[in-house]
């Protein structure tokens, strides 16, 4: 392989889609001046090639990942705006690796499957999806807070277009609601980042945005910087900074009182948009907590962890209950997402190795499951032009393959052993039990509710007599659709059967994260014994045990 590609692998993965999109746009403009238009086929082909290339290269991130290295790998560092302390600084660890993979995996699928649904401005659709992919990847790989914000805010624009231009009947309202909720979260984040960067200015007179010190360049990172717990200036205290970070991430996660935008956005977006929003965008919330909010502000995190555990449990139960009573399949999947991500939030704030491993796995699993479910719902919708549960019944007879895929995905989403959902859920619930038994019990009941709701829906749609004559002549999945489903089922079953390759990559980074949290905690006096839920952090679960236990 080219030597330059090896040193810039992560950059290529991140920017290949954007570069292709811009190139196609330039050619398109030139063609328009000449009075011609670039055929949609060219857009789609090159878009697919670019995102496919990104996926293939990201697989080599997976294989080339060093299992022994708990810190960041594939690091690239260059000056961007040195006078403002802004660097181009990217790298991944075990936590972001799988989110990057998830993004590069879902984007080509979105480009392939959206052919039928996206009826107009198809070339713009490809353009925005490619921009969105780079935005999401950029946010996942940034190790400079400024850069994180840059991507975080920039990716809102393509999403708003995806929802608002190609969405359903309520798309305009959903797009605006999404934008306002996101801006509400991200601008306080900007403020907090600015305050954080200005903290070391008294010492060396320069702003600091790097999360860790870039290798070879020396200096310090924000994670080496003590942040006051009870300082004299209120806006420099952990509590306020954490509040601003948490607001941004909790809106994306979403945690319960801030979830209002999610069902609208997911339901009104075109299927490709729903897949990317549910599959990847929501992961930014959980990822933001894991990478930034928790290690930067450990004291604040520990102080509010009980509250967030509580909110997470409320999210699980509330999402499950609402999913149960939905009449629209897409809305049902949207509320189920709320429950699943509540589970991930539970894992994050339980703050121990097993729970955090589970949370990362759950993020990945939810990306796969939600993506697959939205696509399956769209396959039904394309055939019947409706998504109402009551319109279906006995679909399994004319469409056995769809029913089988749907069944496997549903089972994974409710956590059947042997499928991807189980591993994450089990680890989270075990970890949550160590942190707070009550929350684990409540969460388990929520998961049971979700399972009940999902099975009930599945029974009503797939089994029973065919009441509606329109369902009798449904055509089963075509070859293309079967291949797409296969692409989802492989990792779903694979992770469920053999999660070790993932856990072995996630675990060291999680242990490193907990070590950081532990060493940066200021409020606990050294002599004082660690509280119950924290004592578990020093007992990392051995990856080999994990594999055997499962």
Partner 1 sequence: MIPESVFSVVLAPIGFVAIGAMLVLLGEVLLSRTKSFLGRPWNARLIGSVLAGVAMFSLLLALFVSSQWFATGDVQVFNPQHPLLQLDRFSALASVLIVLAALLSCALATYYLEAVGINHAEYYALLLLSTAGMLVLVSAIDFLSLFLGLELMSLPLYALAGFDRSRLSSNESALKYFLTGSFASALLLYGVALLYGAIGSTSFAALRAEFDPESTLALCGLGLVVVGFAIKLAAVPFHQWAPDVYEGAPSSVTAFLSVAVRAAGVFALLRVLGLGMTTGADAAIDSALASLAPVFAALAALSMIVGNLMMLIQNSVKRLLAYSGVAHAGYVLMGVAAGGSEAWAAVVFYLVVYTFMNIGAFAIVVSLAQRGRDSDRVAAFAGLARESPGRAALMTLFLLALAGFPVTAGFFAKFGVFSAAVNAGLAPLALLGVVMSVVSVYAYVRIPVLMYMHEKDEFVGRAAEAQSGERFVLLTCGVVVLALGVLPNGGTVFEFALGEQGFALWLPPVLDWSRDAVAALVP
- Which of 150, 225, 444, 500 binds partner 1 (CB under 8 A)? It is 150
Question: What tokens appear for 88 in the block?
Answer: 């181009």
Distance spanning both ends of the chain, measured CA to CA = 38
- Which of 179, 266, 360, 373 binds partner 1 (CB under 8 A)? It is 179
**Min separation Cβ 133 and partner 1, Å:** 15
Q: If binding is defined by CB under 8 A, does position 208 make contact with partner 1?
A: no
Per DSSP, helices labelled H in 498-542 are 500-520, 532-535
Site stretch for partner 1 (CB under 8 A), options 152-160, 210-218, 488-496, 511-519: 152-160
Site stretch for partner 1 (CB under 8 A), options 177-185, 252-260, 276-284, 287-295: 177-185
Torsional sign, CA 7, 283, 268, 468 = positive
Q: If binding is defined by CB under 8 A, does position 172 make contact with partner 1?
A: yes
Please identify, using beta-carbon distances, which residue of 83 and 385 lies nearer to partner 1.
83
Q: If binding is defined by CB under 8 A, does position 165 make contact with partner 1?
A: yes
Residues making up the chain, counted from first to last: 550
Q: If binding is defined by CB under 8 A, does position 156 make contact with partner 1?
A: yes
DSSP letter, residue 278: I
Residue whose structure tokens are 């949290």: 517
Cβ count within 10 A of residue 479: 7
Q: If binding is defined by CB under 8 A, does position 187 make contact with partner 1?
A: yes
Q: If binding is defined by CB under 8 A, does position 176 make contact with partner 1?
A: yes
**Contact by Cβ (8 Å): 266, 280:** no
- DSSP codes, 434-495: HH-HHHHHHHHHHHHHHHHHHHHHHHHHHSS---SGGGTT-----HHHHHHHHHHHHHHHHH
**Contact by Cβ (8 Å): 380, 387:** yes
- Number of residues counted as binding partner 1 (CB under 8 A): 37
Q: If binding is defined by CB under 8 A, does position 154 make contact with partner 1?
A: yes
**Min separation Cβ 269 and partner 1, Å:** 13
Instruction: Compute CA 321 distance to the chain's CA centroid, rounded to the nearest angstrom.
Output: 23
Site stretch for partner 1 (CB under 8 A), options 145-153, 246-254, 267-275, 423-431: 145-153
Q: How many CA atoms lie within 13 A of 8 on its CB side?
A: 11
Q: If binding is defined by CB under 8 A, does position 26 make contact with partner 1?
A: no
Q: If binding is defined by CB under 8 A, does position 498 make contact with partner 1?
A: no
Q: If binding is defined by CB under 8 A, does position 17 make contact with partner 1?
A: no
**CB neighbour burial string for 204-215, b if at least 16 within 10 angstroms, e if fewer:** eeebbbbbbbbe
**Contact by Cβ (8 Å): 458, 396:** no
Binding mask 71-110 for partner 1 (x = CB under 8 A): ----------x-xx--------------------------
Please identify, using beta-carbon distances, which residue of 161 and 406 lies nearer to partner 1.
161
**Min separation Cβ 154 and partner 1, Å:** 4
Q: If binding is defined by CB under 8 A, does position 8 make contact with partner 1?
A: no
Site stretch for partner 1 (CB under 8 A), options 63-71, 174-182, 285-293, 494-502: 174-182
Nearby residues of 441 by Cβ (< 8 Å), 6 or more positions away? none
Q: What whole-number distance in Å separates Cα of residue 539 and Cα of residue 545?
A: 13
Site stretch for partner 1 (CB under 8 A), options 102-110, 153-161, 374-382, 507-515: 153-161
- Which of 56, 67, 180, 483 binds partner 1 (CB under 8 A)? It is 180
Instruction: Compute CA 255 distance to the chain's CA centroid, rounded to the nearest angstrom.
Output: 14
Residues that bind partner 1 (CB under 8 A): 29, 81, 83-84, 146, 149-151, 153-154, 156-157, 160-161, 164-165, 171-172, 175-176, 179-180, 183-184, 187-188, 190-191, 194-195, 197-198, 201, 205, 207, 233, 235
């Amino acid at each position: 392989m080219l030597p330059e590609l090896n040193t810039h692998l992560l950059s290529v993965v991140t920017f290949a889609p954007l570069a292709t999109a811009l190139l196609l746009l330039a050619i398109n403009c030139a063609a328009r001046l000449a009075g011609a238009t670039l055929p949609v086929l060219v857009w789609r082909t090159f878009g697919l090639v670019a995102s496919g290339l990104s996926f293939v290269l990201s697989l080599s991130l997976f294989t080339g990942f060093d299992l022994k290295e708990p810190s960041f790998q594939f690091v690239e560092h260059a000056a961007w705006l040195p006078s403002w302390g802004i660097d181009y600084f990217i790298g991944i660890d075990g936590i972001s690796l799988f989110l990057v993979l998830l993004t590069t995996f879902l984007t080509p699928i979105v480009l392939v499957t959206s052919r039928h649904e996206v009826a107009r401005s198809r070339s713009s659709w490809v353009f925005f999806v490619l921009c969105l992919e780079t935005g999401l990847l950029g946010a996942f790989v940034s190790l400079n807070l400024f850069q994180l914000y840059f991507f975080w805010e920039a990716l809102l624009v393509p999403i708003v277009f995806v929802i608002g231009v190609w969405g359903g009947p309520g798309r305009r309202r959903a797009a605006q609601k999404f934008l306002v909720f996101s801006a509400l979260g991200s601008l306080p984040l900007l403020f907090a980042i600015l305050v954080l960067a200005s903290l070391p200015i008294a010492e060396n007179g320069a702003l600091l945005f790097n999360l860790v010190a870039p290798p070879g360049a020396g200096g310090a990172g924000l994670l080496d910087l003590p942040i006051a717990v009870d300082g004299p200036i209120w806006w420099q205290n952990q509590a306020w900074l954490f509040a601003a970070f948490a607001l941004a991430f909790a809106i994306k996660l979403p945690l319960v009182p801030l979830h209002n935008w999610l069902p609208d956005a997911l339901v009104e977006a075109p299927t490709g948009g729903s897949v990317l929003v549910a599959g990847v965008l929501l992961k930014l919330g959980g990822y933001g907590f894991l990478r930034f909010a928790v290690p930067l502000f450990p004291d604040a995190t520990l102080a509010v962890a009980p509250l967030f555990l509580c909110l997470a449990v409320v999210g699980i139960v509330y999402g499950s209950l609402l999913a149960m009573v939905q009449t629209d399949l897409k809305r049902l999947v949207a509320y189920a997402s709320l429950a699943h991500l509540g589970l991930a939030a539970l894992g994050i704030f339980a703050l121990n190795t097993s729970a955090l491993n589970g949370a990362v796995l759950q993020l990945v699993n939810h990306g796969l499951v939600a993506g697959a479910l939205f696509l399956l719902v769209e396959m039904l919708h394309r055939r019947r032009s409706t998504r109402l549960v009551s319109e279906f019944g006995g679909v399994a007879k004319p469409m056995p393959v769809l029913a089988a895929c749907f069944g496997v995905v549903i089972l994974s989403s409710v956590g059947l052993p042997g499928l991807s959902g189980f591993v994450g859920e089990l680890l989270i619930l075990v970890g949550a039990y160590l942190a707070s038994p009550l929350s684990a019990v409540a969460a388990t009941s929520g998961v049971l509710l979700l399972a009940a709701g999902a099975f009930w829906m599945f029974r009503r749609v797939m089994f029973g007599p065919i009441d509606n004559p329109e369902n009798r002549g449904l055509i089963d999945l075509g070859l293309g659709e079967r291949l797409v489903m296969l692409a989802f089922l492989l990792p779903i079953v694979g992770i469920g059967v053999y999660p070790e390759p993932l856990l072995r990559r996630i675990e060291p980074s999680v242990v490193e994260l907990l070590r950081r949290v532990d060493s940066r905690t200021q409020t606990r006096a050294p002599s004082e014994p660690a509280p119950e839920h924290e004592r578990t952090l020093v007992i990392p679960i051995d990856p080999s045990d994990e594999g055997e236990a499962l």
